[in-house]
Chain A
Amino acid sequence: MDTTGHGYESPPSVTRIKACASQETNSGNSIITPERTVNTIPKKKQTALKWSGWGYNDTIVVCEPNGNLYMTSDRYPHMKNKHVNQSVRLWLRDKLNMDLYDESTMVRSPVTPQMEISKPIVNEDFMKGLQRYNISYSMESDDRLFRGHGHTLDDIIHLRTGKIERVPDVVVWPGCHDDVVKIVNLATEHNVVIIPFGGGTNVTLALTCDPEEKRMIVSLDTSQMSRVLWVDKANMTACCESGIIGQDLERELSKHGVISGHEPDSQEFSSLGGWVSTRASGMKKNQYGNIEDLVVHIRFVTPSGVMEKQSLGPRISSGPDFNHIILGSEGTLGVITEVIIKVRPVPEVRDFASYVFPEFQYGVDFMREVALKRAQPASLRLIDNEQYRMGQIYKDSLGIFGSILDSIKMFYLHSIAGYAEDKLCVVIAVFEGDKMDVNQQKTRIKKMTEKYRGLDAGSENGKRGYTLTFSIAYIRDACIDYGVLAESFETSVPWDRCANLCRSVKNTISRECKARGITHHETSCRVTQVYDAGACVYFYFAFHRGMMDFHKALKVYDEIEEVARDEVIACGGNISHHHGIGKKRQKWLPMQVSPLGVNLYRAVKQQIDPNNIFASGNLVDLKSSL
């Protein structure tokens, strides 16, 4: 049997595009763009992206023993031609037992997968159906492997050590909504499992396949459904297919002079459908809103039919909002095919700012005040001391004048303003809008920082801090090479408990590490979102695995993260702010939504997907007591 349906090279036929586009209405000032979007990431993703880590194949963090520190591509201009900051290098060595100059202990990822991918389970009837509908598919091992994982630390370690038990049996690429309907119907008819796949950037084990699953598993990759179907500038909305990834979405929209403004850390690779199904949050949510604020309308294909709201109105009172069953469903109920989202004009000005505060508590108090006055710029994040120091690892090669300027600044900070290097924290702000708005916002924020002993640290630092976000996942992978396991986890918390939570979680992790004899570890956090009622806190926890092998270290990591999550909850935080549940945080769901809530979910699942076609196993372990 052919392992592939459509060849990768052959473009979809013109007639099929017409067939798929025929349903769109052509009315008012809507602009119809039925052409295929040119995807940044090719259909065979592994040709551009790493098979066992984050991001592009050509982009690796490199540190040379001569002190050069850089990324091997031009994609991240801020990470070019840097030098290692020696004091930070020593600090890292001290804290994490991670010597950037010592390549001898490095364990790099194998260049190609070292594991045996088991033969696919094939449901002949289903496959015949696919071929009948002329839908593109692949059964090649590397395609299947790529769809069998996300970017959870567990995923990465398992990939590198070749411990992947089960991957999807086939990858299918529907080209439009109708294709999806056909696939879902086929799967329902022949009892085949579907796991929707967007960008594959989850950190919740959401794509891990159940090794016990005896049915054929289909990975439904939405990446070829990436068109912007129309942009409506009268109402500032756009209808997009769900498979479009963040960077393509903004590029396509900007052709019409608008943007979505949704900018999660994974923006380069994650998809619109993925955002909706995990309740994603973007860095600039203050200006543009979280995904649930952006969504106007969703088309949702389930084994029991298509669900949609049938209204473009801004608000509707029609009983419970069923969009909220789709938002956060994590691929367990159906496939999101098309989303109408709000868009905004491309901002005239984008500006950055950064402020230094003497202590974390001052920073939190400042953030709280900003939220109280509702003066938040597009993005506002507070970075704790550990992360601030980590950020100093890149030293610009500005020449001698640059460093003198730096040292004068530092001298002022420490000696005159009395800020201790090991206590200070940084706030980074992004402003977007027209020039006058941005200036007004900046002045207002500046004034508020003064109340909490904040000092202006310049816009360049702000820009650097903001863009550093996109390279953090690359750095995480590099850390693994050095034997350091690192992962993030997040929560949201009421204002009055925010600083306590940060401190308590750090303490708890430190205690747990000590109890396990881990000598080199570091926990840092940042407050990344402000809300009226509280904030989002984002933790990074890293430790050196020492003498442990990767699997043992991973087990220890998971144990500690579990205790840390218990502590988060005990301190008034919750299960997750935007990462979601997946298979990693199911333990806490009944506590979080009450047992009745879980039963309600089970009832919905039973109604929509009685045969468990969408058996990704996320949210609730249905096997446990169904």
Chain B
Amino acid sequence: MSSNGSPSQIAEGTEQAEDRQKAANAAPQLQDVLRHTCPSPAGPRVLSTFRNILDRDSCDLVWVTKEWRPQQVTLHARTRTTAKIRQDVISSPKMQHTIEQLSSQNEVPKEALWRELNDILIEMGHTQTMPVVRWFGYVLSKIMRKIYSGVFVNEESIARLRASIGNNPVIFMPSHRSYADFLLMSYVCFHYNIMLPVIAAGMDFVSMWGVGRLLRDSGAFFIRRSFGNDKLYWAAFSEYVQTLITAGENPIEFFVEGTRSRTAKSLCPKLGLLSVALEPYLTGQVSDIVVVPINISYDRTLEETLYSYELLGVPKPKESTSGLFKALNVLDEQYGRIHIDFTEPISVNKFFGDLRSPKLMRPLHLPHQITPDESTRIIWLANYVVRQQQKNAVISLFSLAAVVITHHVLTKPRNQLLNMHQLTRQVASLKSAAESFGALIDCRDNLEVSLQNALHIHKSLIVTSKDGQVQVKNVAAAQAPIDPAKMKGHSLQDKTLQVGVPMVMLQHYVNQTLHLFICPAIVSLSVQQSINQGSGMKDDVFARYLFLRTLLSHEFILHKAWETMDFEQSIQQLQKLGVLDESLHDSMKLSLGSNSHLHQILCQLLLPFLAGYSSACSTMLEVPAGKTVSLNEALKSTQARLEKLLLSAQLNHHYSLSLDLLTAAVNSLSSMGAVIKNKENGKVLYSPNSNRLRQVTQIVGDFLQLVAPICRKSQDEQARLFITQAKARL
């Protein structure tokens, strides 16, 4: 395969080299910072430190009416009413300055702007009131008792949190997988007598009658999803966040991923709100900010089916209260456990201390311009936060089962069904692999019992027959017919959806494990390809690894600065697991080891991504020179192409159809320079950069070639592996 070129060529083509250089330069120094900031916890995390907070001595009524004497975030905090906060924002020098500027620039009377500002702030503002919180807490307790078998909080992490608050503003940054996240944090804080957070939420809720009000009263404030160039809104929003930070009355909570992750993978962090929240530190208004990444792990996601449809392109219903009531039928189901872990609090001062400008020569009312160094560091912090969330996940056994089941469905002939015995055995070996990658697996009893319990919670997706056969259920059949006009992507055929929806749902749980496996998987595949091409030298492998890593950097949290660290760690782990040969004669040469089964599983995990990206490449290649396409057009035709491949059995993983995946593919191609992003009249359009794109397509194709043969089976064949909803009811 000469087209691959030399490793250095592959690496060279990956991304703007200077960016990487910049990150690499920052790396050693920050590595020190981090070692200092975040000493690894004394011992490995264990399940025994998690306590079920629903399992408490007092009854719910006593619990919600307890005396409220929370631990203060900062000692200097003074409690402000909603009106006072609004007044503080309005009278802040920064706001005054903005209004004056806008008034003279746009020739608008100031009074009009003041009125507009006031409206914005009323729309935005939170109105946390304890009676509502208590009442809400009571209802939540009842609901949670019904659908969850426990809300487990790492009490060691609570103690650690308590010790680090009291002096500085606190930001909670939970992972975001479900709407339930909003309420959970406040619920936990109430339980542990920690000042309730004020939560940044999207505007979507406000329009829901009653719900908007309820969330406001529980401490949510609302930010419009997009406000483009609206300077007044931007100023109002940043001043609102900053007054909350500097006043330090409540912890501020926001989701660094920006939105719920439909895929259960962490989303690439958004930097806007984080930058705004850090500004008081960077401009010397507070001495430090404590950032607490939080992991919330769900055994089963409330929105699992909904997400599955959404990813395939079936439109998301607009948030409405009646919709919410309809969704209440979730109350009849069981959703297992929730695990919450507050990770080691991060001192922003430790992260940014060396960057803080020694001379503040600008008055506070002028907006702070984030310097390039600060910006690099903010990206780092954001990625670090997400990684901490991932590292502190509690992985459900079902996620591991999902990996095994998917692998089985994709690779084994149709007559060969998976039985419980095989599943248990394979989950056991995968569990020990995951544990060696640092995972904490929720396995409280012996594996067999735990696994059965885990499967039971997901009985709507996976059924175990009496004779021990494990099968995927066709959940799609129960849904109402979908109006093709409403499809966000390509209008997929019914039979595609029938296999697709459950496969994407299953992938949701596979995805929960991917942060553990992604680097080892990339390394495994790179080693294999390198060996196939007669090299196996470490630097050749590294170059291939770098390509894949860059390609997937919009899909997974693969911050550049960690390239080498991740690579070395993965190699060590893979050697320990026998995926790579440990008995190295030449330390610069890598070879595959005896554990080919794990190697196959790891490589197969990359299949849907490589297949999706490969198709996105082909689609973009077909765009004639000089022509452009919108993102939506690109997604639609890629989905169409993928569906064809699925129907003709050239591909068999339906997750490739995921719109999130394909969007990430286009973004990735764009940042690799294979696709050019243009803005025309506010619309974003893409055109191919033919030479570069051809090169990338070829390399992706070569990688896909390596993974694809492992699993080749047609959609029809696959469909037979599923049992229909109707059957399942019998």
- A359-B78, A500-B246 in contact; A567/B359 too (CB < 8 A)? no
With a CB–CB cut-off of 8 A, which chain B residues contact A570? Answer: 284, 287, 356-358, 360
With a CB–CB cut-off of 8 A, which chain A residues contact B684? Answer: none
Is the beta-carbon distance between B286 and A500 smaller than 8 angstroms? yes
Segment 324-375 of B: residues with Cβ below 8 Å from A: 356-360, 363-365
Is the beta-carbon distance between B363 and A571 smaller than 8 angstroms? no
Q: How far is the CB of A606 from chain B (nearest CB, A)?
A: 27
Total residues of chain B contacting the partner, CB 8 A: 20
With a CB–CB cut-off of 8 A, which chain A residues contact B284? Answer: 497, 500-501, 504, 570-572
With a CB–CB cut-off of 8 A, which chain A residues contact B287? Answer: 503-505, 507-508, 511, 567, 570-571
The answer to whether the Cβ of A591 comes within 8 Å of any Cβ in the partner chain is yes
Is the beta-carbon distance between B363 and A494 smaller than 8 angstroms? yes
With a CB–CB cut-off of 8 A, which chain A residues contact B363? Answer: 494, 496
CB closest residue in chain A, given B78: A359
The answer to whether the Cβ of B288 comes within 8 Å of any Cβ in the partner chain is yes
Segment 504-526 of A: residues with Cβ below 8 Å from B: 504-505, 507-508, 510-511
The answer to whether the Cβ of A569 comes within 8 Å of any Cβ in the partner chain is yes
Is the beta-carbon distance between A500 and B358 smaller than 8 angstroms? no
Is the beta-carbon distance between B285 and A571 smaller than 8 angstroms? yes
Is the beta-carbon distance between A510 and B285 smaller than 8 angstroms? no
The answer to whether the Cβ of B272 comes within 8 Å of any Cβ in the partner chain is no
Is the beta-carbon distance between A497 and B285 smaller than 8 angstroms? yes
Q: How far is the CB of B729 from chain A (nearest CB, A)?
A: 61
CB closest residue in chain B, given A504: B287
Is the beta-carbon distance between A504 and B356 smaller than 8 angstroms? no
In-complex Cβ contact of A507 among B167, B360, B364 (8 A): B167
Q: How far is the CB of A89 from chain B (nearest CB, A)?
A: 23
Is the beta-carbon distance between A497 and B364 smaller than 8 angstroms? yes
CA distance A376 to B78 in the complex (A): 28
With most chain A CB atoms within 10 A of its CB, the pick from B76, B93, B288, B356 is B76
Is the beta-carbon distance between B358 and A507 smaller than 8 angstroms? no
CB closest residue in chain A, given B282: A570
Is the beta-carbon distance between B167 and A511 smaller than 8 angstroms? yes
CA distance A207 to B489 in the complex (A): 79
Is the beta-carbon distance between B246 and A496 smaller than 8 angstroms? no
The answer to whether the Cβ of B619 comes within 8 Å of any Cβ in the partner chain is no
In-complex Cβ contact of B359 among A360, A497, A507, A569 (8 A): A569
CA distance A440 to B417 in the complex (A): 97
The answer to whether the Cβ of B390 comes within 8 Å of any Cβ in the partner chain is no
Q: How far is the CB of A368 from chain B (nearest CB, A)?
A: 12
Is the beta-carbon distance between A591 and B288 smaller than 8 angstroms? no
The answer to whether the Cβ of B656 comes within 8 Å of any Cβ in the partner chain is no
The answer to whether the Cβ of B513 comes within 8 Å of any Cβ in the partner chain is no
With a CB–CB cut-off of 8 A, which chain B residues contact A359? Answer: 78
CA distance A570 to B348 in the complex (A): 14
In-complex Cβ contact of A511 among B246, B288, B356, B360 (8 A): B288
Q: How far is the CB of B322 from chain A (nearest CB, A)?
A: 47
Is the beta-carbon distance between A507 and B168 smaller than 8 angstroms? yes
Q: How far is the CB of B413 from chain A (nearest CB, A)?
A: 62
In-complex Cβ contact of B288 among A496, A507, A572 (8 A): A507
Instruction: Encode A431-472 as 1/0 by CB contact (under 8 A) with B.
Output: 000000000000000000000000000000000000000000
CA distance A577 to B487 in the complex (A): 68
In-complex Cβ contact of B364 among A496, A503, A591 (8 A): A496
Q: How far is the CB of B168 from chain A (nearest CB, A)?
A: 6
Q: How far is the CB of B668 from chain A (nearest CB, A)?
A: 38
CB closest residue in chain A, given B167: A507
With a CB–CB cut-off of 8 A, which chain B residues contact A361? Answer: 78
Segment 569-589 of A: residues with Cβ below 8 Å from B: 569-572
Is the beta-carbon distance between B286 and A510 smaller than 8 angstroms? no
Q: How far is the CB of B419 from chain A (nearest CB, A)?
A: 57
CA distance A591 to B287 in the complex (A): 20
Q: How far is the CB of A476 from chain B (nearest CB, A)?
A: 25
CB closest residue in chain B, given A572: B360
Q: How far is the CB of B664 from chain A (nearest CB, A)?
A: 39
Instruction: Encode A366-401 as 1/0 by CB contact (under 8 A) with B.
Output: 000000000000000000000000000000000000
CA distance A507 to B78 in the complex (A): 16
CB closest residue in chain B, given A571: B284
CA distance A500 to B285 in the complex (A): 5
With a CB–CB cut-off of 8 A, which chain B residues contact A572? Answer: 284, 360
Is the beta-carbon distance between A503 and B93 smaller than 8 angstroms? no
- A569-B359, A570-B356 in contact; A496/B93 too (CB < 8 A)? yes
Is the beta-carbon distance between B360 and A503 smaller than 8 angstroms? no
Instruction: Encode A478-510 as 1/0 by CB contact (under 8 A) with B.
Output: 000000000000000010110011011101101
With a CB–CB cut-off of 8 A, which chain A residues contact B285? Answer: 497, 500, 504, 571
Q: How far is the CB of A508 from chain B (nearest CB, A)?
A: 5
With a CB–CB cut-off of 8 A, which chain A residues contact B246? Answer: 500
CA distance A510 to B357 in the complex (A): 22
CB closest residue in chain A, given B356: A570
With a CB–CB cut-off of 8 A, which chain A residues contact B76? Answer: 360, 503
CB closest residue in chain A, given B286: A504
With a CB–CB cut-off of 8 A, which chain A residues contact B288? Answer: 507-508, 511
CA distance A497 to B359 in the complex (A): 13
- A505-B287, A570-B284 in contact; A497/B360 too (CB < 8 A)? yes
Is the beta-carbon distance between B358 and A569 smaller than 8 angstroms? yes
CA distance A477 to B529 in the complex (A): 75
With a CB–CB cut-off of 8 A, which chain B residues contact A591? Answer: 358-359
CB closest residue in chain B, given A569: B358
- A496-B93, A500-B285 in contact; A510/B167 too (CB < 8 A)? yes
Q: How far is the CB of B162 from chain A (nearest CB, A)?
A: 13
Q: How far is the CB of A528 from chain B (nearest CB, A)?
A: 20
CB closest residue in chain B, given A359: B78
With a CB–CB cut-off of 8 A, which chain B residues contact A496? Answer: 93, 363-365
CA distance A2 to B356 in the complex (A): 58
CA distance A505 to B285 in the complex (A): 10
With a CB–CB cut-off of 8 A, which chain B residues contact A360? Answer: 76
CA distance A507 to B170 in the complex (A): 13
With most chain B CB atoms within 10 A of its CB, the pick from A360, A500, A591 is A500
CA distance A510 to B286 in the complex (A): 14
CA distance A582 to B479 in the complex (A): 80
Q: How far is the CB of B551 from chain A (nearest CB, A)?
A: 40
Q: How far is the CB of A556 from chain B (nearest CB, A)?
A: 18
Segment 261-299 of B: residues with Cβ below 8 Å from A: 284-288
With a CB–CB cut-off of 8 A, which chain B residues contact A500? Answer: 246, 284-286
Q: How far is the CB of A495 from chain B (nearest CB, A)?
A: 10
CA distance A154 to B285 in the complex (A): 31
CA distance A359 to B363 in the complex (A): 24
CA distance A486 to B599 in the complex (A): 64
With a CB–CB cut-off of 8 A, which chain A residues contact B359? Answer: 569, 591
Q: How far is the CB of B246 from chain A (nearest CB, A)?
A: 7
Q: How far is the CB of B634 from chain A (nearest CB, A)?
A: 47
CA distance A501 to B167 in the complex (A): 14
With most chain A CB atoms within 10 A of its CB, the pick from B284, B285, B287 is B287
CA distance A71 to B363 in the complex (A): 46
CA distance A500 to B360 in the complex (A): 13
Q: How far is the CB of B361 from chain A (nearest CB, A)?
A: 9
Q: How far is the CB of A78 from chain B (nearest CB, A)?
A: 31
CA distance A572 to B76 in the complex (A): 20
Q: How far is the CB of A544 from chain B (nearest CB, A)?
A: 19
With a CB–CB cut-off of 8 A, which chain A residues contact B74? Answer: 507
With a CB–CB cut-off of 8 A, which chain B residues contact A505? Answer: 287
Instruction: Show 11 A/B contacts (Cβ-Cβ < 8 Å), sorted by A.
Output: A359-B78, A494-B363, A500-B285, A504-B287, A505-B287, A507-B288, A511-B167, A567-B287, A570-B287, A570-B360, A591-B358
- Where the two chains meet, the residues of A that have a C-beta atom closer than 8 Å to any C-beta of B are 359-361, 494, 496-497, 500-501, 503-505, 507-508, 510-511, 567, 569-572, 591
Enumerate the 6 nearest inter-chain pairs by beta-carbon distance, A residue then B residue, closest first.
A504-B287, A571-B284, A572-B360, A507-B287, A507-B167, A508-B287
Q: A494-B363, A497-B360, A569-B358 are in contact. List 19 more A-B contacts (CB 8 A).
A: A496-B363, A496-B364, A496-B365, A497-B284, A500-B284, A503-B286, A503-B287, A507-B168, A508-B288, A511-B167, A511-B288, A570-B356, A570-B357, A570-B358, A571-B284, A571-B285, A571-B360, A572-B284, A591-B359
